[in-house]
Structure 1
Amino acid sequence: MVNRSAVLLIGRRDDVEEILFIKEQGYKVILLNTQIPLEDAFIADFPIELDLNQEEEVIAKALEISKRLPITAVYTNNEYRIILGAKIAEALGLPYHLSSEAAQNCRSKAQTRACLTRHQVSPIQYALIQSPAEILHVLSEMNLPVIVKPSNDAGSHMVQKCNTLEEAWTAAELISTKVQNWVGQPLEKHILVEEYIEGPEFSVESCTINGATHIIAITAKNTSALIEEGHLVPAQLSNQDSTSIQEVVIKALTALGVDYIVSHTEVKLSPQGPKIIEVNARVGGDQIHRLVHAVTGYDLRKLAFHIVTGGVFASAPRDTPVTDSAQIQFLLADQKGYVRLDKQAAQSIEGIEQVECSVQDGDYVVMTESNYNRLGYMIAHGVDGKHATLIMKAAKEAMHFFITMDQDGKVPSSTDKHMGVI
């Protein structure tokens, strides 16, 4: 039986698969986005362009649409639109959605930190400042290195690890000169300064339904200068460490008021135990959903949709896992220069599922400074008893990726060769 109701899809983040799998469930798709590509416009039932930063206008439009078409759920995986989606769901009186308060608690890194500290969930030293000069006082009470970052941006944009007073001042100064985040929303006035947490980094992919959180997977993360370099599912952890990470994440989600979503929580395993870095009230980016799907059978995007349409965990859609380990590796430029890579050689390695490059051999690139200007990625699945990490190692060697200032394509000497991060 075809469902005559509709789903409001806000600020679509991934490719058209989101639209397609919603339609496969029999729902009409109302797509609201600031700009809608032609491909999306053809597939969505009701594509509507409007400025998503004008929240009151968007909510009014959603209410207007609901008078003509019954809306069952609001769905978004876009970090910047989590609060908007929650507000629309509240305005429509929908039963299964993240509250706008919880959305704000997660979206604002300053509010996340304040809420976790208030509930004594993995508290760390932090301070909020509004000007670079305040760094002087902060660093009189907080040891270097520190992390300086905007409170409501994403993608590691303007996030800096600072080893000196000068670096912290410069990082705060950069943020203070910006008035908008990556999508044009006003930046919060407060700049977040946090103690730097030593230890390996992980993300926990989970879902919360009616107050109960289910851990789907723990992802091991590699970073380079705080830019995400790669992810591995599942993380190779002891039972004790896995349990302690899961416990602190569940406590954090409870403290923040998270419910009826799939979440992506970043954690560092410090010598003092797991510490929450960020809580994202949506499916993790960087193709993590593909790694999790391959290893566990759960498609996190479909799981998130299952939840907002009233589904319970016991009946969540699940496919047969295809591998016991999956890894993604990103290509980062550690300096400006010319790219050297052999995409076909990497693709020829058994177990490599995809090689995606935004550049070609010989292209000139600038240094990678955030997740937004990485140069591509490779995805590996464990196969025939070989772990995904071994597959990826072979692909990296085959690709022979590096950045050089030598435009004629000669392999540089060891003194001027930059292997770019892969």
Structure 2
Amino acid sequence: MSDDGVLLVIGSGLRYYREYLVESVHRRAVAAGLRTVLLNNLTPTWQTRYFDEITVADVFDPAVMAATARAVAARHRVVGLLCWDEPLVLTAGELAAEFGVPGLGLGGVHACRDKHRTRALLTAAGLPQPGFAMPADLAEARAAADDIGYPVVVKPRALGASIGVVLAHDPGEFDAAYAVASSASAVDQGVYGARVIVEGYADGPEVSVDGAVHKGEYTPMFLARKHSGEAPYFEEVGHVVDAADPLLADDALTDTLTRAHAALGVEDGVTHAEVRLTARGPVVIEVNGRVGGDLIPLLGRVATGIDSGEVLFDVATGRRPELTPTRRAVAGIRFGVPDHDCVVRSVAVPADAPGLVTAGPMVEPGTTLRLPPGGYLARHSFVVCAADDPPTCEQRLDEAAARVVVTADPVDPPERGAVFEMPAGLLDTDA
């Protein structure tokens, strides 16, 4: 083993979603005198400028990921480990514990990844939670829904991005909802895959909070107001981060999140918590053991000045992060979603618009986009805008999104019984 310290990153993620984080991590590593090593599933392209060493391996196979990471640890002194891709977080967290470097902790990473365990731990800690059950089959699921009381939400036990999450208002809608969630959960071959959870519906606006945990101490960084697509599904179509959001000063919300992280046993890391603001107070829906997706960390940086990449580096290497906002602005993102299943022929995004920060296409020509329940993350583009206040930001997002030009051909829905495929946008599949 060489004596040089390295920061190990597992999975770079898609370029348009994660390069800004990689850039910040690389900058901090250089300043700290650390080399950077990446384990990635594809031959690197844009990643080469940020990493001193890159190993290509199937990181989506836990055994392969672990063996490859251990080979790195045999060559180098690993002083920190980072991972922000949801399917990889569990094994990466276990490796951080094995290597003795800061991480979510074994208890914390399993509690975040397993939504059933999340519910059980938060309920035991006395936090407001909906009724929940993890049935073995449809008959048990029907009985659980009756016991919990409608409306209920049916969801995969361990998937992210609201894939397979469906609202059922009554028994007449339940069987179809259960079938959708079951089909989606079957693609997850991990330890918590292929199971479905039934839980009571927590009514109220939904927000997400990205926060940092250092030696068990939780601090919120920024909050995003979520915009969802049409019911009964919960796909995110946009987010808005306001540095002056009054919820950041809400003691009930902060206390709920602090208690939730303690109950889950999170030790060190950056988390993305989703919360419903119900009539009985904040209800934690889930805590993800990673930074937010959907470019939320970029929105947070534009709005508050807090750089999630720098925070990630700090907590992964045992440093107390600096979380004081340096800006007071508003930033939002809007995703372009088709009205129907289609094959995309071309996407053109605006180069200029009021308050435009960035915009980009999210698919290549020839990509088939399918809306729920036949598919998820049917996004052809995104626009990010900034402003001084939320109404102006929303207006600018409307204007920028209206300038996106898409040509596409409609396609028939998938055949009944077709195997659900994981959306490419959830994985690191860019070339």
**If the TM-score is normalised by the length of the shorter chain, which range does it land in?**
0.7 to 0.9
Does residue 111 of structure 2 align to residue 102 of structure 1? no
2:100, 2:44 → 1: CA distance? 30
Q: Which has the higher contact order (CA 8 A, sep 6+)?
A: 2
**C-alpha offsets along residues 67-125 of structure 1, whole Å, 9 cap, x if unaligned?**
3211111111111222212211121122x221021101000111111111111112211
Q: Tell me which moved more, 209-218 or 111-120.
A: 209-218
1:177, 1:239 → 2: CA distance? 36
Match in the other structure for 2:54: 47
Q: Tell me which moved more, 42-51 or 283-292.
A: 42-51
Instruction: Give the Å deviation of 1:60.
Output: 3.8
Q: 2:396 aligns with which of 385, 391, 394?
A: 391
Does residue 276 of structure 2 align to residue 276 of structure 1? no
Give the structure-2-normalised TM-score.
0.82
Q: 1:310 aligns with which of 306, 318, 336?
A: 318
- Conserved in 2, the CA contact under 8 Å of 1:63 and 1:91? no
Change (3 A) 1:145 1:71: same
**Partner amino acid for 1:392?**
L
**C-alpha offsets along residues 243-266 of structure 1, whole Å, 9 cap, x if unaligned?**
322221111111101121111100
Match in the other structure for 1:420: none
SS at match of 2:274: strand
Q: 1:261 aligns with which of 262, 269, 278?
A: 269
Instruction: Give the Å deviation of 1:181.
Output: 3.4
SS at match of 1:192: strand
Percent identity between the aligned chains? 24
**C-alpha offsets along residues 261-299 of structure 1, whole Å, 9 cap, x if unaligned?**
111100010111111111011100000001100111111
- Conserved in 2, the CA contact under 8 Å of 1:102 and 1:258? yes
Instruction: Give the Å deviation of 1:166.
Output: 4.1
- Conserved in 1, the CA contact under 8 Å of 2:299 and 2:331? yes
SS at match of 1:387: helix
**C-alpha offsets along residues 197-224 of structure 1, whole Å, 9 cap, x if unaligned?**
1111101111111222111112111111
2:166, 2:48 → 1: CA distance? 38
**Partner amino acid for 1:210?**
K
Match in the other structure for 1:411: none
Match in the other structure for 1:155: 161
Instruction: Give the Å deviation of 1:58.
Output: 3.3
2:390, 2:245 → 1: CA distance? 19
Structure 1 unaligned regions, length at least 5: 407-422
SS at match of 2:261: helix
SS at match of 2:84: coil
Change (3 A) 1:31 1:144: same
- Conserved in 2, the CA contact under 8 Å of 1:11 and 1:32? yes
Match in the other structure for 2:6: 6
Q: CA RMSD, aligned part only?
A: 3.3
Q: 1:215 aligns with which of 214, 220, 223?
A: 220
SS at match of 1:139: helix
Change (3 A) 1:325 1:146: same
Change (3 A) 1:236 1:160: farther
Match in the other structure for 2:38: 31
Match in the other structure for 1:140: 146
- Conserved in 2, the CA contact under 8 Å of 1:83 and 1:104? yes
- Conserved in 2, the CA contact under 8 Å of 1:327 and 1:380? yes
Does residue 156 of structure 2 align to residue 120 of structure 1? no
**C-alpha offsets along residues 354-392 of structure 1, whole Å, 9 cap, x if unaligned?**
222236999975435565322221111005997312222
1:74, 1:360 → 2: CA distance? 32
- Conserved in 1, the CA contact under 8 Å of 2:20 and 2:298? no
Larger Rg: 1
Match in the other structure for 2:354: 350
- Conserved in 1, the CA contact under 8 Å of 2:185 and 2:196? no
- Conserved in 2, the CA contact under 8 Å of 1:341 and 1:399? no
**Partner amino acid for 1:380?**
C
Structure 2 unaligned regions, length at least 5: 412-431
Match in the other structure for 1:413: none
Does residue 178 of structure 2 align to residue 172 of structure 1? yes
Does residue 65 of structure 2 align to residue 58 of structure 1? yes
- Conserved in 1, the CA contact under 8 Å of 2:270 and 2:289? yes
- Conserved in 1, the CA contact under 8 Å of 2:130 and 2:201? no
Instruction: Give the Å deviation of 1:401.
Output: 7.8
Instruction: Give the Å deviation of 1:343.
Output: 4.8
**Partner amino acid for 1:74?**
L
Q: Tell me which moved more, 41-50 or 127-136.
A: 41-50
- Conserved in 1, the CA contact under 8 Å of 2:370 and 2:376? no
